[in-house]
């Protein structure tokens, strides 16, 4: 992945303690009239696992779209609903994909099917695509962490939201930045989940984790972001840096999954197709340059959990093979104030898709311990 660019980026000191689900996934080397290299893809495959739970009944799937109102726009947001057997005291689970340029509801599907098929704690599940990602509309908006938080708040609270059509307690399962955005919104009192599970949680975008947030670097990020959002040159740069199958496969094998053998051609082709949708580059441009970061330091990250101490159960699912910087931030949560439980599982940046049955087992245990 290479192209010419008149943009100077000099490496910042290597002492950043910022984790992103793409730390090490973005390696930027920009020189005048030389090469620009960006590694920025996050997703994974749906692999089988020997610990799979045999479903006792099949789940019912419904797909639909919900209109998010923002800044004078009506954005069609895609979601899926999974229902098991009917029962009283059912728990409603909202599953939110990890934010990335190939983010999709697909990463949570196997987990959703597994959990709603279980018996002790009855559940239904809703998986929603972020606006600008997956199968949702991708309009030209000023995407940032506040934008995504506004979407989450409206989706959970709006009178016409599919989540407000039931009196069931609502639990959030989120991956990467999604979990952190949900924690921030809960800490502000904007949403009131009954529990939150943060799977491989992250908070820092790919470039800030590597190059820092100095004034000069922020200026360079702004230039890159503007270029990626531009009508013609933006598509050209995006196609070279992100939207090609070789790049996606490389990222999956290098750091998104723990086991490169789990990366199949069908998954790469599926994710590649997402990058070809109209408007596909707008959210990645924001994520890459740190605009979707809910906090700006490890201290702020830990504070999000501490602010919910004693209010709701919180599970953190760390991964054994996450990239070094991401792993450091996950490990910083071990024993942190506000956590109910901390576990480590196989995987890297997207364990809910690479090892779905392992994740389903840990999440269901959390539900049993919190509500059974």
**Domains of the chain by range and CATH?**
1-372 (3.40.50.1820)
Three-state DSSP class for residue 257 = coil
In the structure, what pLDDT confidence band is assigned to residue 372 with cuts at 50, 70 and 90? Answer: confident
pLDDT at position 85 is: 63
* For range 70-98, the mean pLDDT: 90
Q: Which value, in Å, is the radius of gyration of the alpha carbons in the chain?
A: 19
Q: What is the mean pLDDT of residues 189-202?
A: 98
* Residue 18 pLDDT class (50, 70, 90 cuts): very low
Q: Which residue has the tokens 């495959």?
A: 45
Task: Considering only residues 317 and 19, tell me which one the structure prediction assigns the higher pLDDT.
Answer: 317
CA gap 96, 103 in Å, rounded: 10
Q: 362 pLDDT band (50/70/90 cuts)?
A: very high
Tokens of 253: 């094998």
Out of 9-13, 122-126, 157-161, 272-276, which region has the weakest mean confidence (pLDDT)?
9-13
Cα 50 to Cα 53, 216, 224, 322, 355, distances in angstroms: 9, 50, 44, 22, 10
Residue 59 confidence class, pLDDT cut points 50, 70, 90: low
The pTM of the full predicted model, rounded to 2 decimals, is 0.86
Q: What is the mean pLDDT of the chain?
A: 86
Mean pLDDT in residue range 43-72: 66
What is the C-alpha to C-alpha distance for residues 195 and 192, in angstroms, rounded to an integer?
9
Lowest-confidence range among 24-38, 105-119, 174-188, 200-214? 24-38
Over 60: is that where the pLDDT of 237 sits? Answer: yes
């Amino acid at each position: 992945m290479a192209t010419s660019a008149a943009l100077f980026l000099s490496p910042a000191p290597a002492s950043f303690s910022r984790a992103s689900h793409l730390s090490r996934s973005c390696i930027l080397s920009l020189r005048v009239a030389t090469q620009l290299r960006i590694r920025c893809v996050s997703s994974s495959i749906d692999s089988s696992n020997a610990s799979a739970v045999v479903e006792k009944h099949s789940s019912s799937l419904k797909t639909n779209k919900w209109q998010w109102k923002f800044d004078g726009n009506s954005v069609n947001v895609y979601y899926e609903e999974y229902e098991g057997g009917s029962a009283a005291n059912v728990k409603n689970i909202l599953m939110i994909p990890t934010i990335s340029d190939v983010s999709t509801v697909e990463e949570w599907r196997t987990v959703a099917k597994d959990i709603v098929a279980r018996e002790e704690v009855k559940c239904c599940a809703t998986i929603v695509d972020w606006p600008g990602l997956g199968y949702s509309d991708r309009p030209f908006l000023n995407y940032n962490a506040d934008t995504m938080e506004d979407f989450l708040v409206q989706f959970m609270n709006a009178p016409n939201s599919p989540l407000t059509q039931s009196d069931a307690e609502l639990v959030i399962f989120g991956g990467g930045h999604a979990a952190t955005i949900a924690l921030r919104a809960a800490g502000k009192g904007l949403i009131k989940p009954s529990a939150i599970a943060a799977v491989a949680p992250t908070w820092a975008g790919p470039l800030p984790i590597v190059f820092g947030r100095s004034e000069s670097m922020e200026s360079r990020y702004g230039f890159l972001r503007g270029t990626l959002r531009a009508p013609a040159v933006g598509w050209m740069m995006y196609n070279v840096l992100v939207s090609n199958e070789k790049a996606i496969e490389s990222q999956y094998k290098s750091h998104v999954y723990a086991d490169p053998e789990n990366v199949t051609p069908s998954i790469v082709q599926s994710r590649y197709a997402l990058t070809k949708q109209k408007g596909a580059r707008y959210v990645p441009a924001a994520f890459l340059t740190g605009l979707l970061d809910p906090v700006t330091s490890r201290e702020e990250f830990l504070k999000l959990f501490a602010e919910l101490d004693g209010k709701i159960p919180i599970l953190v699912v760390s991964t054994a093979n996450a990239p070094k910087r991401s792993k450091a931030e996950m490990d910083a949560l071990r024993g942190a104030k506000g956590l109910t439980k901390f576990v480590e599982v196989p995987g890297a940046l997207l364990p809910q898709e690479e090892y779905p049955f392992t994740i389903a087992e840990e999440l269901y245990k959390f539900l049993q311990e919190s509500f059974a």
